[in-house]
Each structure stands twice: as C-alpha cells, then as structure tokens.
Amino acid sequence: MSKGLLIVLSGPSGVGKGTVCTALRSQVPDLVYSVSATTRSPRAGEVDGVNYFFKTREQFLEMIEHDQLLEYAEYVGNYYGTPRDFVEKTLAEGKDIILEIEVQGALKVKEKFPDGIFVFLMPPSLDELKDRIKGRGTESQDTIDHRMSVAVDEINLLQHYDYAVVNDKIELACERIQSIITAEHCKIRK
Amino acid sequence: MSKGLLIVLSGPSGVGKGTVCTALRSQVPDLVYSVSATTRSPRAGEVDGVNYFFKTREQFLEMIEHDQLLEYAEYVGNYYGTPRDFVEKTLAEGKDIILEIEVQGALKVKEKFPDGIFVFLMPPSLDELKDRIKGRGTESQDTIDHRMSVAVDEINLLQHYDYAVVNDKIELACERIQSIITAEHCKIRK
C-alpha cells in the first residue's frame, strides 16, 4: 500500500486557495480534507467533524498544551488550529489528506511535518491579485494596500515550499495539483 | 520561460520502455526525443537526425574523445551513444527532451546530468516481466533465465532514480509520466 500524503495548500490571501481546494475535492473524492478545530460557535448548518471540530476554549488550550495541534492561531477572539491526530490517522490508513491554510500556518505545519508536500498557490501576477483583493467588496485603500504588502511578504516565503502552482484558471491549477500528487506517489524516497 | 527538463526513461529490458516512450511522444508533441548517434548503417527508411545520427567509427571515437556523448556503449560491433549538444540545445530552447535508455546508460547520464529527471519503468511483477521476455519470441530457457537475472539486478538500481512508474497499462504509465513532468515544472528549485 502506498503511504498517504499530507498535501498543504497555501498561498497569499485572495489567491483562491478555498476555491481551488473545493474544486480539487470534488474531482478527487478520495482526497480527505483536514478539518480544523475552532473555539468559535457553529453557524447554521455547520456540522461538528465536517466543517470544524467545535471546541470550548478550555478544550482548545488543552490541545495546545498536549501538542495535539500541528499549528494554531487566534483570529478575532477565536482559536483555529489543525488537529494532529486526524491527519496522522488518515495518513496511517494510506489516504491522502489536504490541508488548506494561510502561509504562516503552513510554515508551522512544516516544522512538525517536514514530509508534507507544500504547495504554494500563486497569483498569475501581482496586478491580478490586487484586482481579486479589491473585488471582494468595499475595502478602503489602506486595507487593500496593507493586504497587498502582506501578500508580497508571503510570496517571498515561496522558497520554503516544494511546489509553486499558478492559479491562472481553477481547472488548470487543479490539474497541476493532481499531477503533483500523482508524481509524489511515484517518487522514490531515499 | 520555464527551463526545459531532461526526462530519462529507463528500466529493465522487456518492461516496455519503447512502447511507453512512443505513446508518450504521440500524446505530447512538444516533447523532443533525444536522437542517438550510432555507427551502424541506416536501415531502409531510416533518416539521419530523425531515427539516429549516423556516424562513421572515426567520427564516433572523436565524439567520445571530446566528451560529446552523455553515455555510449558498444553493442554487436556497433557504437550507440547520446549526443550531449542535442540535449543541451533543446533544454536551452526551453523544451523538454526525453531519453529512452537502458539502466546502465541512464546511470552514466546521471553522472554528467544530475539535474535530469530519472524515471524507472517497473514491471507490475517479476512474473509479468518473465512473460513479456518469453513472449518476445523463441528464446531458450537459458537466455530467458539470464535476462531475468539481469532484470532483477537492474531493479536493484532503482534507488538511483527519482521516480518509479509501474507499467501496468500503457495509458496509465503515460499519464503518470506526464504528471511527473508537470509536477517537475512546478517544483521550486533550491
């Protein structure tokens, strides 16, 4: 049995990680999605263990303390993190698992899981990324400038990744990621 | 421009390198085929520079002397080799080039071209390989045994390669090799 692979899909905010990840999962039903843990309350329709593992603050802090998270971060007063046991259990079953995560989180995962396949989703150009960030809504020029500067800093972290995939078209980006997964399964580990 | 890649397709005799290489070339017309140099005479229909670069023995020995071959071997009284300049010219143009070659030759190419992508085509099983070697014609049991023992020795050289591709079905083997090429173009070189 070929061992399962952890595929970490990351990239700057606005690049389309979520869209590409959703498309990929619909094309590759065998690909398991890494479900995050969070302390925020479930929204209508969200199911525990599917959308998130919903935890109390106490439970989450205990997971941190027992090194049960591959990474975690606090965002607008709530904790979000990647449970280690779900990833390890999936890989042990010989299944591939994909984790969609922002750049800083991916680098933390790499510290604990250097054997993961780290894929950086790239905008076709910085202009294109700016358009996508602008296109999201009615954000102020300051916010847009700030998010662009963060994105440029993140793109400079590219060399910590294994692969760069340009998200010019969702289907093409998905095909490239599927190729990377196929190739990694053929790779001779030394 | 993405730099061209040298893909070295190798594997034991009888595994189907030639068939897979031909199928791959018809599916990927942009993939350049590395044309060998030889001292043997052209057969009917063979074109210089397409099937082989036909050389005199003197020319070939001169190519060896000037390190113009990535590898060479003598076989049934004739020389065969891989001209370095054709490979380098193709890569410099940003094109991928595929070299189909037996295992010992591939390892010699690796010494001169460590950046190549070394793909080992595997039989689905040793029994399957034996059937293929037998199926070729009316070879004696001794010949079959000898070729099987060479094949097993060659399979033990797998760890010098980057990828192992099982040739269970030609289309599947081709898809895997295409995935490897796509993935390698996405790879971040460090």
The per-residue pLDDT for range B14-68, each reduced to its tens digit, is 899 999 999 999 999 999 999 999 999 999 999 999 999 999 999 999 999 999 9
Q: Which of B94, B123, B144 is the last residue of a domain?
A: B94
Q: Which of A161, A162, A190 is facing B159, going by the closest CB pair?
A: A190
Q: Which chain B residue has the Cα nearest residue A117? A: B187
Clarify whether residues B157 and B187 are in a common domain: yes
Q: Taking CB atoms and an 8 Å limit, are A158 and B182 in contact across chains? A: no
Q: Which of A158, A176, A187 is facing B182, going by the closest CB pair?
A: A176
The total domain count for chain B is 2
Clarify whether residues B164 and B129 are in a common domain: yes
Clarify whether residues A39 and A49 are in a common domain: yes
Clarify whether residues B108 and B151 are in a common domain: yes
Clarify whether residues B171 and B84 are in a common domain: no
Clarify whether residues A75 and A144 are in a common domain: no
Tell me which residue of A58, A97, A88 sits closest to A181, measured CA to CA: A97
Q: What residues pair up with B119 in beta bridges, in sequence order?
A: B9, B163
pLDDT for the residue B14: 85
Q: What angle do CA A55, A59, A61 make, to 5 degrees?
A: 115
Residues of chain A with pLDDT > 90, as a percent, come to: 78
CA pseudo-torsion sign B100, B102, B105, B106: positive
Clarify whether residues A126 and A66 are in a common domain: no
Q: What angle do CA B32, B25, B136 make, to 5 degrees?
A: 120
Q: What is the mean pLDDT of residues A162-188?
A: 97
Q: Which of B76, B94, B112 is the last residue of a domain?
A: B94
Clarify whether residues A14 and A72 are in a common domain: no
Q: Which residues contact B105 (CB under 8 A, 6 or more apart)?
A: B10, B71, B73, B82
Q: How long a stretch of residues is chain A? A: 190
Clarify whether residues B67 and B104 are in a common domain: no
Q: Does A178 touch chain B (CB under 8 A)?
A: yes
Clarify whether residues A24 and A54 are in a common domain: no
CA pseudo-torsion sign A46, A47, A51, A57: positive
Q: Where in B68-166 does DSSP place strands (E)?
A: 69-75, 78-83, 97-100, 117-122, 163-166
pLDDT in tens, A28-65: 999 999 999 999 999 999 999 999 999 999 999 999 99
Clarify whether residues B118 and B60 are in a common domain: no
Disruptive mutation site among B3, B182, B189, B190 for chain A (greatest number of A CBs within 10 Å): B182
Q: Which of B164, B183, B188 is facing A179, going by the closest CB pair?
A: B183
Q: What residues pair up with A54 in beta bridges, in sequence order?
A: A38
User: Is the pLDDT confidence value at B95 over 80?
Assistant: yes
Q: Taking CB atoms and an 8 Å limit, are A187 and B120 in contact across chains? A: no
CA distance A137 to chain B (A): 32
The SS3 call for residue A135 is: helix
Clarify whether residues B57 and B139 are in a common domain: no
Whichever domain contains A78, its CATH number is 3.30.63.10
Residues of chain A with pLDDT > 70, as a percent, come to: 98
Q: Which of A44, A77, A94 is the last residue of a domain?
A: A94
Q: What angle do CA B143, B145, B148 make, to 5 degrees?
A: 105
> Residue A119 sits in which domain range?
1-31+96-190
Q: Tokens 């690049």 label which residue?
A: A15
pLDDT for the residue B174: 97
Q: Which residues contact A98 (CB under 8 A, 6 or more apart)?
A: A7, A8, A9, A21, A24, A25, A31, A32, A33, A34
